[in-house]
Amino acid sequence: MLERRAKARRRVCYQGSVTAGLSDPVLSVHIRDLSETGAQVRLAEGALPGRRIALRVDRTRRLYDAEVVWRAMELYGLRFRHTGDEAGEAAGGATAEWQGHRASL
């Protein structure tokens, strides 16, 4: 299979959470791989709440503004909309929407 990613992803075994906004549920995900520009996550049940989501990595407590770019059964490929050290803080809409969910996480 031809690798088309600009940045190599590293395999990880992290837990995380996703949401699409204040009115959407917070769903637990298993993060399978991660890079500066994206991630692959597994959702045990249901579907992600939208095409644009906020991803929180429990281990690092970082927030990412992400876009779902592919799905295969319970696996999802995410592309981060902002990259770099300030990715969580720079993810304006997603970070702002996440504030209401912080207490439940």
What's the first-to-final CA gap in the chain, in angstroms?
Answer: 37
Q: Are 79 and 38 in contact (CB under 8 A)?
A: yes
Statement: the pTM of the whole predicted model exceeds 0.75:
no
- Is residue 82 in a domain? yes
pLDDT at 21: 86
Answer yes or no: is 55 within a domain: yes
Residues 48 and 90: their CA atoms lie apart, in Å, by 22
Q: Determine the Cα–Cα distance for residues 37 and 24; give it in Å rounded to an integer.
A: 24
The domain spanning residue 53 has which CATH number?
A: 2.40.10.220
Query: What is the number of structural domains in the chain?
Result: 1
pLDDT score, position 67: 97
Residue 2 domain-assigned?
no
Helix (H, G, I), strand (E, B) or coil at 78: strand
pLDDT tens series, the chain, 105 aa: 445 655 677 899 999 999 998 888 999 999 999 999 999 999 988 888 889 999 999 999 999 999 999 999 999 999 999 754 444 443 444 454 455 544 444
4 domain-assigned: no
**Residue 39, domain extent:** 10-104
Residue 54 falls within a domain, yes or no?
Answer: yes
Report which residue type is found at 27. L
Question: Could you tell me the two tokens for 90?
Answer: 């720079």
Residue with tokens 């906020």: 54
